[in-house]
Amino acid sequence: MITVAAIANPAGDVMKVLPTIDGVEYIVGTTTEELAKSGKLDQVTVVCFVAQDASVSVISDLWSRVPNCKWVHSFTAGIDALGPFINEHLLNSPVPLTNGKGAFSDSLAEWVMTSVLHFNKQIPRLLHNRAAKIWDKFVMNTIAGKTLGVVGYGDIGQAAAKCAKFGFGMKVLALRNDPLKESAHADEVLGPERKEELFARSDFVLCALPGTTETHNYCSTAEFEAMKKTAVFISIGRGVCVDEDALAAALRSGQILGAAVDVFKTEPLPESNPLWDCENILLSCHNADMTADYLELGWGVFKANMECFLADRPFVNTVDKTRGY
């Protein structure tokens, strides 16, 4: 029997769709004390951090109590919150780390295209005209042939590129550390030394980067100044990757046409954050992937990895602990 310690609220919705897998049992709790009540901590083989209603510090507290753990899984794709735990306990350990990579990429790709169309079709203008009862028969733009520049060409970036290219006929530029790496759907791949070139050539720039020390404020003043005045910036990766003050300045000055942002450095976004006051921003509250089937999709990735674990096969996705994604 494989015992999984799921760090989550036992009464939460996330537990209502817990996958049933032959030979696997779960102990669930938001604290080490709750999990310890099972009397099975020494039998735990897998630790799954679900995050909902649980502090990230719990996994560090739990670690010394689960000496037989052979695998750690993060329900979410982003693992930057687990950074202290990874650095202290996993970095030099053979215990593998997996995450929810791929579970939510399709819904995020839809949000990206919603953002593209929001600005391209001038939806704010339409809404204003309706409210003001203005009959404004303007020329409607199209996105076919426009360029989507993707900064961070992982699973989310590739899903968005697929939608943009095959659904709408857009061109795709990809920016990644290794430009020689296979990059599905990209028309051209640029290395990091050509970052500003990607910003300058793109009609829409998508930031889908993971949150690491190397990506902190990766999109800042120089990048926004390189963009066309008709271009739009879209952020769905991690909030730490964007210099929010620089973005607000670019929006207010007209340096760029607009922005669509779903992730922020501090969440909930403080009322004092200048982005709230920008008229040309589409802002969502880190819920672009919070679909009706969010929990089922997340557990689906865990189940696929568990099947690999039970069969002694390579995991569907393994996190590079040194790179943070």
- The upper half-sphere exposure of residue 53, i.e. CA atoms within 13 Å in the direction of its Cβ, equals 12
To the nearest 10°, report the CA torsion of 239, 243, 244, 249: -160
Which residues does 37 contact at the CB level (< 8 Å), separation at least 6? 29
Q: Concatenated DSSP letters for 199-215?
A: HHH-SEEEE-----TTT
Query: Measuring CA to CA, which residue among 97, 88, 30, 36 is closest to residue 70?
Result: 97
**Rg of the Cα atoms in the chain:** 22
Known catalytic residue at 238: yes
Known catalytic residue at 194: no
The amino acid sitting at 33 is E
Known catalytic residue at 176: no
Neighbours of 90 (CB within 10 A): 18
Q: What tokens does 309 get? A: 């674990």
Neighbours of 204 (CB within 10 A): 27
Buried b (16+ CB within 10 A) or exposed e, 30-53: bebebbeebeebeebbbbbbbbee
What's the N-to-C CA distance of the chain in angstroms?
Answer: 30
Q: How far apart are CA 59 and CA 32, in angstroms?
A: 8
Query: Of 267, 296, 313, 323, which residue is the catalytic one?
Result: 267
Active site positions, annotated = 238, 267, 286
